[in-house]
Chains A and B, each alone.
Chain A
Amino acid sequence: MPTSPEPIPLLSATGLVKVFHAGGRAVRAVDGVDLSLAAGEVLGVVGESGSGKSTLARLVLRLTEPSAGRIAFDGRDITALDGEAMRRLRRDMQIVFQNPHSALNGRRTVGEAVAEPLRVQGVARGAALDARVDRLLDQVSLPRAFRHRYPHELSGGQKQRVCIARALALEPRFLVLDEPTSALDVSVQAQILDVLGELRRELSLTYLFISHNLAVVRYLCDRVMVMREGRVVEQGPVAALFAAPAEAYTRTLLDSVPRLPRP
C-alpha cells in the first residue's frame, strides 16, 4: 500500500504498443497498456499464451523497442535512453527467466555466472568480487561451495536460485520475474516463492511478476493486471479482484483453475 498521498511510481508506462510484423500481417502484441508500479510493490501480470504479458515485460526493460508509448523509471523518461545512460540504468532493472536450464551457460561455473554482471559493470573485482559472490549465494540460500559447480550438477530449483543471485548482483531496485517457477516442481516452486518473498522484504525490491498461474500470483503479488490479446482486461488488488472480478474473462480464467478437495 502506498503511504504518501501521491508517490512517484518507480516504474510507469503509458500507451505502450508493440506491433510485430509476421507474414505480411501486423500483430499488436501489446496494444495500449498503461501501468504503474510503486516502489516496494509486487504487480502480477496474468494472461494466457499470446496475451502479450512477456512482450510487456521486455518492453518495460527496454529489451524490446516499443512501437509507441512512454516508459519512465524513477520519474525519468527512459523511452529513448541509449548508450552509457542505458547501460547504467541496467543496474537498476534485472530479469529472471522461466527456464533456468537455458538461462545459464553450461561452460561457466556458478561463481562465474553470478560474478559476470559485477565484472561487466566494473563494480568489483578480486577479493571484493569473491566476497560479493559469497554474499549473493547466501541470499538465495545456496551453499558457498556451489560457486565451483557447473549448471549440469544442479537441480532446476538450484539453477533458478543461481539466476536470481545473478539478477541481484548489481543491487537492482526492480526485477522482472518472467514465469520464474513454471518449469519447476511444486515443492521446489514453494521454496523459490519463499526466497523471492524474503528478498523483497529484505532488499525492498519491486517486482513485475509475469505468470499464467493464478494461484502463484495470488500468493506473491499485491496487485494484479489481467491481460488478453495485448490489452488490459482489468486490474486491482489481487485478493479483492480474484474474490470479485468485474470482467467475464477474469471470471472464466478463475473458474478454469481446478479446485482441490478440502478436508
Chain B
Amino acid sequence: MSALLAIEDYHLAIPTFDGPARVLNGIDLALEEGETLGIVGESGCGKTVLARTILGIGPDRAERKQGRILFEGRDVADLSARDWRGIRGVKIAMIFQDPMTYLNPLFTIGRQLGDAIAAHARAEGQARPGRAARRVRAATLLDQVGLREPERVLDYYPHQLSGGMRQRVLIALALSGKPRLLIADEPTTALDVTVQAQVLRLLRDLVETLGLTVVMISHDVGAIAALTGRVAVMYAGNVVEEGPTARVLARPLHPYTQGLLAALPEIDGAIRRLSGVPGTIPSLIDPPPGCRFHPRCPRATALCAAERPAMRGADPAHRVACHHADLA
C-alpha cells in the first residue's frame, strides 16, 4: 500500500533581503487514496505555501532545501513546466478561496468548461469532442456540483453568478479532468455562512460518491471539522500535531492546538471566557531555536529551547511534536 501523496522531510526557504525565510521546516505528511486531510493554522504558518508547493506553483524564488514530494510514487518537487502539464489540473486539481479570480470574466461558463473538457480530451490523446458533446459533458458537470438548470448556467458569464455558484463552477472545472487529488485552499472562506454550509455539503458528497481524495487548507477549524477525516495542525512552518480530526479537535495534545481551540467562541453550550494565544508568530528568518512555539508556550522548559521535538504519540494515528505533551 503506497500513499497517493507523500511529503517527506520537506524544507523550503524563500530568499528575502534579511536572509532566507524558512517557511517549511521539515514537513512529513502522507495521504492515502480516498482520504480527506485538513491542514489548519493561522496566517504565516505555511499552509498555503505547502498547498501551492504540492501543485508545483510554489513561490517563484523558493529554494528547495531538502526532502521529497511524491505523487503516485514520483518526486514532483522539481518537475519542469512541461512535465507538470499532465499532472496539474488533470491528476491534481485545485480550488481556491476567491472563485471570481479564477474564472475569465469575458467568457461564458459553458465556454470555459468546454475548453477544459477539450484540453483534457487532447491530453488523453482523444479526438476533440464536438460542440454538442462538450455542452452535454459541461452540463453534466454542473449538475454534479448541484447547480440547478445547468443548461441555463452554461450561457451565463461569471458576474451573473453568486459567490456560491461560482465556487460550484470552479469545483466543476476541477472535476472536468477526473482528478485523483483535489486541493482546496480556503474554499469556503469568502462565502456567507449558509452558502459555506452548502459548499461543504457538496464537497462531502463528492468525496463519498467519487471517492475523491482531498487536501483542504483552512484557518477555519469549523470548516475543517465539517469535511476532513484527518487533520494536520501547522505552526510557523511545522506540523505540530496530526491525527483523526474528531480526536485532535476534541482532545488536542499540542499546547498550540489547545490555545487555538480555546480562542474559538462557540455557537452553543455555556459561554466560556476565551483565552487567546499570548504573543505573536515568530520571524521565519530568525525562528526560535528548538521548538518554534516555545516563546509562547505555557509549558516551555530549557529543553524546548534546545531541542526540536520529534513527532510522537501513544497511538501512531495521533501524533504530536511536543516535549511535554501528556500522552497518557
A interface residue numbers (CB < 8 A to B): 48-49, 155-157, 185-191, 193-194, 212-216, 218-219, 239, 242-243, 252-263
Is B225 a contact of A262 with CB atoms below 8 Å?
A: no
Which of A49, A213, A258, A261 is the one whose CB lies under 8 Å from B223?
A258
Q: B274 CB to closest chain A CB, in angstroms? A: 4
B interface residue numbers (CB < 8 A to A): 42-43, 163, 192-197, 200, 219, 221-223, 225-226, 245-247, 249-251, 259-269, 271, 274-277, 280
Which of B197, B247, B265 is the one whose CB lies under 8 Å from A216?
B265
Q: B240 CB to closest chain A CB, in angstroms? A: 14
Residue of A nearest to B196 (CB): A256
CA distance A222 to B142 in the complex (A): 43
Q: Given the interface contacts A187-B259, A242-B267, does A259 sit within 8 Å of B225 by beta carbon?
A: yes
Main secondary structure of the interface of A (DSSP, over half): helix
Number of CB contacts from chain A to chain B under 8 A? 101
Q: B163 CB to closest chain A CB, in angstroms? A: 8
CA distance A166 to B82 in the complex (A): 54
Is A187 a contact of B197 with CB atoms below 8 Å?
A: no
* Chain B residues whose CB sits within 8 angstroms of the CB of A259 once the complex forms: 222, 225, 267-268
CA distance A189 to B42 in the complex (A): 11
CA distance A243 to B219 in the complex (A): 27
Q: Given the interface contacts A215-B264, A218-B267, A263-B250, does A48 sit within 8 Å of B221 by beta carbon?
A: no
Which of B194, B247, B276 is the one whose CB lies under 8 Å from A253?
B194
Question: 5 tightest CB-CB pairs across the interface, nearest first?
Answer: A258-B222, A190-B276, A256-B197, A190-B263, A48-B192
Is B263 a contact of A186 with CB atoms below 8 Å?
A: yes
Q: A52 CB to closest chain B CB, in angstroms? A: 14
Is A215 a contact of B265 with CB atoms below 8 Å?
A: yes
CA distance A161 to B23 in the complex (A): 27
Q: Given the interface contacts A257-B222, A258-B225, A261-B225, does A219 sit within 8 Å of B192 by beta carbon?
A: no
Which of B196, B226, B267 is the one whose CB lies under 8 Å from A254?
B267
Q: Given the interface contacts A255-B197, A262-B250, does A49 sit within 8 Å of B225 by beta carbon?
A: no
* Chain A residues whose CB sits within 8 angstroms of the CB of B195 once the complex forms: 48
* Chain B residues whose CB sits within 8 angstroms of the CB of A257 once the complex forms: 193, 197, 222, 267
Is B249 a contact of A261 with CB atoms below 8 Å?
A: yes
Which of B193, B225, B247 is the one whose CB lies under 8 Å from A260?
B225
CA distance A254 to B262 in the complex (A): 21
Q: A234 CB to closest chain B CB, in angstroms? A: 16
Is A263 a contact of B251 with CB atoms below 8 Å?
A: yes
* Chain A residues whose CB sits within 8 angstroms of the CB of B226 once the complex forms: 258
Q: A235 CB to closest chain B CB, in angstroms? A: 18
Q: A159 CB to closest chain B CB, in angstroms? A: 12
Q: Given the interface contacts A215-B266, A261-B225, does A190 sit within 8 Å of B274 by beta carbon?
A: yes
Is A242 a contact of B276 with CB atoms below 8 Å?
A: no
CA distance A242 to B221 in the complex (A): 21
CA distance A215 to B251 in the complex (A): 21
